[in-house]
């Protein structure tokens, strides 16, 4: 069954449902487009008048999924996630570009309720004599122990991120904030947190923080560089090997009982040894990834704003040369206005058809729609991704591709590295409130 609507904004509707919502384009008839997600098919046809009555409902399999979708689509939401006891559902509402009602829904099991939905913030060590710190998600215990020595720690103990409304409410009387990359820390939030002295990001990146707003309010911003370099480089190389040699596809084939013996043409992939590795952004992580390539006898080329003094042989090239000559292209640039969407259809078309694209940096550096098209059409061989444009949302069309290896943003997810990140983030916050210079200050 297909649900059809008339629309006056077909291009904008396509951008919303295919691009933002991640629905597959099931059929393109020019003036009529049909999108698909699971069992749902939506059709939109050009018309002088738009039909906006009724509700489009997207179904999910858990409370956690609804919360994750809400974090991704909070800007189009008209309510926050909540339980409707009359229908025993957990849901929230939103609007599409023409004002159609969207419902994002999960049917609760008997007796099930959202964990921490009413009040996800818990004071871990009540002590009013200490300055207050807001911890937006639980982090390794060594860091919480450090924080507890100095702060009264107000932590989000739910297995989900805080909604915007919850975050704004919780920061109101806090002296310090220890947050994640997924938390949007802007002028609005800083104005709510009038006592804030420091924002300590549990990440090396800080594109989630408005630095100008922080400077204006004399709020220090800190991050966690260095400690996650080697672990992230390890994951990048895991993706290189998996995507180039088709490891996940082969394992699934074997587990499904399809392996009947050695075959000369079974799951042929791309060599890694002796090939050209291209690095976009030769910072700490880019260098760590490139350094590992020397053991594979690879030629290393890189594109960076400035030449780097390196302890291995590598050639600085222009951006176009990097795209055209890389057998494996690994992205390590920060997300900035200049790098947002840097790898698009034009750039992907310059790459070799045998090329492997690796992204452990930021999902927005790559035009996700263009990458999906390139993978489907054989413009590049494969991709290995640890980051996505609208995390935690991943388009169905990308999920269905066999020539992409995907990880749930686990580049730094080793026991030691996450513990070290937590310790550094804690020491940053502690140093600022004690009037000392933090180990890793951005501003």
d(CA 84, CA 24): 30
d(CA 442, CA 211): 9
- Give the pLDDT confidence of 345-396 residue by residue, as tens digits: 999 999 999 999 999 999 999 999 999 999 999 999 999 999 999 888 888 8
395-432 burial code (b ≥16 CB/10 A, e <16): bebbeebeebbbbebebbebeebbbbbbbbbbbbbbbb
pLDDT of residue 251 exceeding 80: yes
Q: Could you give the domains of the chain? A: 3-107 (3.10.180.10), 121-227+417-433 (3.40.50.720), 229-255+267-406 (3.40.50.720)
Which of 210-219, 327-336, 393-402 bottoms out in mean pLDDT, i.e. has the lowest? 393-402
d(CA 72, CA 346): 27
The average pLDDT across 106-132 equals 82
- Give the pLDDT confidence of 164-221 residue by residue, as tens digits: 888 999 999 999 999 999 899 999 999 999 999 999 999 998 999 999 999 999 999 9
Identify the active-site residue in 65, 103, 115, 391.
391
d(CA 325, CA 309): 22
State the chain's mean pLDDT as an integer. 94
Question: Taken in order 79, 83, 89, 90, is the CA torsion positive or negative?
Answer: positive
pLDDT of residue 86 exceeding 80: no
The average pLDDT across 325-353 equals 97
Neighbours of 153 (CB within 10 A): 24
Is there a catalytic annotation at residue 273?
no
Read off φ and ψ for residue 26, nearest 5 degrees: -80, -35
Per-residue model confidence (pLDDT) at position 160: 77
Per-residue model confidence (pLDDT) at position 53: 86
- Give the pLDDT confidence of 5-47 residue by residue, as tens digits: 999 999 999 999 998 888 999 999 999 999 998 888 999 999 9
Per-residue model confidence (pLDDT) at position 242: 98
The pair of three-digit structure tokens given for residue 237, joined into one six-digit string = 């190389």
pLDDT of residue 118 exceeding 70: no
Identify the active-site residue in 246, 409, 418, 423.
409
pLDDT of residue 117 exceeding 70: no
Identify the active-site residue in 164, 362, 368, 369.
362
d(CA 319, CA 299): 16
Is there a catalytic annotation at residue 137?
no
pLDDT of residue 163 exceeding 60: yes
Is there a catalytic annotation at residue 74?
no
Per-residue model confidence (pLDDT) at position 114: 64
118-128 burial code (b ≥16 CB/10 A, e <16): eebbeebeeee
Neighbours of 357 (CB within 10 A): 26
Per-residue model confidence (pLDDT) at position 395: 87
pLDDT of residue 421 exceeding 80: yes
Per-residue model confidence (pLDDT) at position 113: 64
Q: Give the whole-number percent of the chain exceeding pLDDT 70.
A: 98
Q: In the structure, what pLDDT confidence band is assigned to residue 111 with cuts at 50, 70 and 90? A: low
d(CA 198, CA 190): 10
pLDDT of residue 319 exceeding 70: yes
What is the residue-wise DSSP string for 299-343? EEEEE-SS----SS--EE--HHHHHHH-SEEEE-PPP-TTTTT-B
d(CA 137, CA 144): 11
The pair of three-digit structure tokens given for residue 337, joined into one six-digit string = 């206005």
């Amino acid at each position: 069954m297909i649900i059809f609507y008339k629309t006056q904004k077909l291009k904008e509707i396509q951008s919303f449902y295919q691009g933002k919502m991640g629905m597959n384009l099931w059929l393109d008839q020019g003036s009529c487009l049909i999108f698909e997600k699971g069992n749902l098919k939506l059709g939109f046809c050009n018309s002088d008048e738009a039909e906006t009555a009724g509700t489009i409902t997207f179904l999910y399999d858990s409370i956690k999924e609804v919360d994750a979708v809400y974090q991704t689509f909070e800007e189009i939401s008209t309510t926050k996630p909540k339980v409707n006891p009359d229908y025993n559902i957990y849901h929230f509402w939103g609007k599409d570009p023409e004002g159609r009602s969207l419902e994002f829904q999960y049917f609760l099991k008997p007796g099930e309720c959202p964990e921490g939905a009413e009040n996800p913030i818990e004071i871990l060590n009540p002590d009013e004599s200490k300055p207050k710190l807001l911890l937006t998600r639980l982090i390794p215990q060594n860091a919480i122990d450090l924080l507890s020595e100095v702060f009264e720690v107000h932590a989000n103990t739910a297995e989900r991120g805080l909604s915007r409304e919850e975050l704004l409410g919780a920061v109101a009387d806090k002296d310090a904030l220890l947050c994640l990359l997924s938390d949007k820390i802007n002028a609005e939030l800083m104005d709510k947190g009038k006592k804030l002295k420091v924002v300590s990001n549990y990440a090396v990146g800080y594109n989630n923080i408005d630095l100008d707003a922080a400077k204006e309010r004399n709020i220090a911003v800190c991050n966690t560089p260095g400690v996650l370099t080697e672990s992230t480089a390890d994951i990048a190389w895991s993706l290189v090997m998996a995507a180039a040699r088709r490891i996940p596809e082969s394992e699934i084939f074997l587990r499904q009982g399809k392996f009947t013996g050695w075959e000369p043409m079974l799951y042929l992939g791309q060599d890694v040894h002796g090939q050209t590795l291209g690095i976009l952004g030769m910072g700490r992580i880019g260098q760590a990834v490139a350094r590992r390539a020397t053991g594979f006898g690879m030629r290393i080329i890189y594109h960076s704003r400035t030449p780097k003094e390196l302890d291995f042989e590598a050639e600085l090239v222009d951006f176009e040369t990097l795209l055209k000559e890389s057998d494996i292209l690994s992205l390590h640039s920060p997300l900035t206005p200049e790098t947002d969407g840097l790898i698009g259809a034009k750039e992907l078309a310059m790459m070799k058809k045998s090329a492997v694209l690796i992204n452990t940096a930021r999902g927005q550096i790559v035009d996700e729609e263009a990458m999906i098209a390139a993978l489907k059409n054989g413009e590049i061989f494969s991709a290995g991704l640890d980051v996505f444009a609208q995390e935690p949302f991943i388009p169905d069309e990308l999920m269905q591709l066999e020539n992409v290896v995907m990880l749930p943003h686990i580049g730094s997810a080793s026991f030691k590295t996450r513990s070290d990140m937590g310790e550094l983030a804690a020491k940053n916050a502690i140093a600022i409130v004690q009037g000392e210079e933090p180990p890793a200050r951005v501003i």
